[in-house]
Amino acid sequence: MGNINSILTAILCSTAPLTAAEIPDSKIEVVQSNTLGVETISILRGDYEKGEYSEFLNDMDQDYLEAMTEGDLQGLIEMRQRDVSVDLQDQWEQKFSSLQNERNLALLGAISDTDDSVFAKKVRSLAANLSTPEQEKAIVKLNSLLNKAPGTGINEDENTLIDIDLEYEYKILHGQLPSSEVSPQEQFKQQIVLRMDKMAKMVEASKNFKDHSLKQIVGLSSANLDARLARNLDGSELNSAVKKHVKPTSETEENVYSIISLYQGQFSDLMKDLTSNP
């Protein structure tokens, strides 16, 4: 069982990147660029591992500790306690996955195999199937686990992952608040770094897990995180262009934007149906 909002986020994370899937429900505007997602993520990964975001992450740790002390997490916890059946969750995951596959085939059909432009590469990135069936099952399993409220896991290891997820859900939401000190572009980078840090914390925690199956799930889910972040960043830019009604500069762009717009509407309809069926 899981709450509707968390399940919706999990479905988007694993199957339907309308927004940056590993950056769900971000309120920070995505900026179009001529840089591919894989390049941006590679740079951010390097900066993260060099400690260039250590001060930011330490500040977020302090904010989270204060939130725990002051009881500011109760709202998030209560949202996770609103249940929806596992059968309904599976049903909607299948529908989202089916729509995504249809969209991806249409997108690939809209660009030439010989088109080597940055735009075409971003379209291929959005339509890419990056996970093996084993990885996809692990990602779905991890997402379904992370819908849960603290203390509701079947063992201590599950509860550890649930606690980490709650921590970073708060940090991600808190990091989206408007700031006069940080540009929207930098805030967006921080959102990505938080997801890198969240997975790193889960991997580190899993080293001591007694539940070897859960340890394997974390490992499989983390293995292609950067590739998924890159894909979803490219997808975010394309979806943002459509939502902003950016004027296409070629027939290819016009066809791609039309396909994305069509499926944005269909994904939106499914999300509305999901949230209206508690």
> Which of the pair, 31 or 188, is modelled with greater confidence?
188
What integer pLDDT is reported at residue 78 of this predicted model? 85
What is d(CA 246, CA 263) in angstroms, rounded to the nearest whole number? 17
Cα 2 vs. chain centroid, distance in angstroms?
A: 17
Q: What DSSP assignment string belongs to 200-227?
A: HHHHHHHTT-S-HHHHHHHHHHHHTHHH
Q: What is the pLDDT of residues 159-183, one digit of tens each?
A: 999 999 999 999 998 888 877 688 8
- The token duo for 40 is 């941006």
A 10 A CB-CB count for 236 gives 24
Q: What is the pLDDT of residues 6-15, one digit of tens each?
A: 333 433 333 3
Q: What is the pLDDT of residues 188-222, one digit of tens each?
A: 899 999 999 999 999 999 999 999 999 999 999 99
What integer pLDDT is reported at residue 274 of this predicted model? 66
> Which of the pair, 55 or 96, is modelled with greater confidence?
55
- Annotated domain spans of the chain: 4-15+52-275
| Confidence class for position 118, pLDDT limits 50, 70, 90 | very high
Q: How many residues does the chain have?
A: 278
Q: What is the pLDDT averaged over residues 4-32?
A: 42
Report whether 218 contacts 206 (CB < 8 A).
yes
Cα 254 vs. chain centroid, distance in angstroms?
A: 27
Proportion of the chain above pLDDT 70, given as a percent? 83
| Confidence class for position 17, pLDDT limits 50, 70, 90 | very low
Residue 74's closest CA among 176, 145, 144, 170? 170
What is d(CA 166, CA 172) in angstroms, rounded to the nearest whole number? 10
Q: In whole numbers, what is the pLDDT of the chain averaged over residues?
A: 84
